[in-house]
Amino acid sequence: MGLFSLLTQELAMDLGTANTLIIHNDKIVVDEPSIVAIDQASGKLVAIGNKARQMHGKTHQNIRTIRPLKDGVIADFTAAEMMIRGMIRMIKNRSNFLSPSLRMVICIPSGSTNVEIRAVRDSAEHSGGREVYMIYEPMAAALGIGLDVEAPEGHMVVDIGGGTTEVAVISLGGIVCNESINTAGDVFTEDIQAYMKSQHNIKIGERTAEEIKIAVGAATDKLDNPPADFVVHGPNIITSLPLEVAVSYKDIAAALEKSLLKVDSAIMKVLEKIPPELYSDIVKNGVYLAGGGALLRGLDKRLQQKTRIPFHVSEDPLRAVARGTGIALKNINRFSFLMR
């Protein structure tokens, strides 16, 4: 090990609205929900990641759970810094991680403003980052999927995260055209809460709605292998008495339809903007789906039917962006032109 590598530690971070992943030495060393629990009186950190998530919706007045990111960008600076610091500390606890000088690559939504980018950079620097580089999420997703982003060939990626859906066409190491909308996993979860209230008179929390989405979430009401119904318990919104409701994937497809139409429309907008030479590459190569939203059952089939272009769900879509950020870090000189 050279002196440089002893003095400089490197890590790649997928700082997401829903989940934060850190790659160190080519391994995912942190994979935690992006949430912290704070003591209201002292302002001190009580829990982070999974532990804080377990408290979400169950706290008393002295403890507040905060998700520091909203719509893909930092919404609460103090909480974001606490979270980044705490997650970096998790690596230190797991290994002999020294951080005299920390080099970090962090991904950011392609629609970020300069102020939002500055916020991520400041938070990373305050958390110990000496050299901080940024890479746009769709570019990281494409690298993580294994696409040759430098080739003179069009690749299209749709990354449906917790806060944003990013649609981008990449060629020659750059984003040729893109759309970024705030309709993604968090909105799908809210749709399910609203649907359960309006259709079944049952009140459910964010965590239960997310469980339903994972268990029976679907983008179409015609699935070849439908999942079993998911049974939900909660209070009747009128009587407050306990209710039990069996939710089917068809219910969830109906609940998500309005939001999925917005995703369809973002994809159509990008397809309309693609230069013809790249369009034919995309028809040939297909479009890659990444992010947790890619796991919605039947989403690839739905999009394929709407566009008549093949859609592929990438391998381990929840980790594609983190993998790509790690690849960018490992090849920092080669990919410096992809970073800010």
Ligand X SMILES: Nc1ncnc2c1ncn2[C@@H]1O[C@H](COP(=O)(O)OP(=O)(O)OP(=O)(O)O)[C@@H](O)[C@H]1O
Please say whether the beta carbons of 46 and 53 come within 8 A: no
Nearer to ligand X, 243 or 293 (CB): 293
Measured from the CB atom, the residue of 160 and 278 that comes closer to ligand X is 160
User: Which is nearer to ligand X, 36 or 278 (by Cβ)?
Assistant: 36
| Cβ-based nearer residue to ligand X, 9 or 314 | 314
Shortest CB 243 distance to ligand X, Å: 23
Binding residues for ATP: 17-19, 162-164, 210-213, 292-295
Q: 77-94 vs 114-126: helix axis angle to the nearest 10?
A: 40
Helix axes 206-216, 185-200, angle to 10 degrees: 100
- Cβ 253 to ligand X, closest distance in Å? 12
User: Residue 291 CB, nearest distance to ligand X (Å)?
Assistant: 4
Using the minimum distance from each CB to ligand X, give the nearer residue, 68 or 217: 217
For residue 340, the minimal CB distance to ligand X (Å) is 17
Beta carbons of 80 and 108 less than 8 angstroms apart: no
Token pair for 51: 């532990």
Partnered with residue 20 across adjacent β-strands are: 15, 32
Cβ proximity to ligand X: between 38 and 181 the closer is 181
Work out how close the CB of 226 gets to ligand X at its nearest, in angstroms, rounded to a whole number. 14
Q: How far is the CB of 148 from ligand X (least distance, A)?
A: 23
The answer to whether the beta carbons of residues 271 and 223 sit under 8 Å apart is no
Binding site for ligand X (CB under 6 A): 14, 16-19, 72, 137, 161-164, 184-186, 210, 213-214, 217, 291-293, 295-296, 318
Q: Which is nearer to ligand X, 9 or 311 (CB)?
A: 311
- Would you list which residues are annotated within the binding site? 17-19, 162-164, 210-213, 292-295
* Residues linked to residue 339 through DSSP beta bridges, in sequence order: 135
* 104's tokens: 């970090």
CB of 8 to ligand X, least distance (A): 26
